[in-house]
Structure 1
Amino acid sequence: MIMNNQLLSAKELANLLSVSTRTVWRLRSAGALPEPVTVGSSRRWRASDVSEWIEAGCPKTV
């Protein structure tokens, strides 16, 4: 279960979407994922953004 205030790493997002981490980065580059936030030098996705994106049918975001 995903908590709405949780931040997901690329690995966690990949597991959630059943894809590889490389595919997560490809989807991000293609504008097909919600924009991540930067935490230090890391990129993280807000679980709430990902949940909304999935519920909307995974539309392209760009």
Structure 2
Amino acid sequence: MKTGFGGASPEQIILVVLVILASIWLITDSAVVLIICWGVAIVAGGWYGIQKGREYVNGIEE
């Protein structure tokens, strides 16, 4: 599953976004940035789990 971001997978893009947000939080020590970071991580984790679950189910059906 590739995207237009130089061949990076969605998982890699999410990881980079989380690292950037975590870096901003370390610099600013802002609770808002930390909450956004957690929100992105939770949504990304749920999305990733759903994608992997679909791949698993599709693999069983084939």
TM normalised by structure 2 equals: 0.23
Q: If each structure's strand is expressed as a fraction of its own residues, which one has the higher value?
A: 1
Report which of the two structures shows the higher radius of gyration computed on alpha carbons: 2
TM normalised by structure 1 equals: 0.23
Q: If each structure's helix is expressed as a fraction of its own residues, which one has the higher value?
A: 2
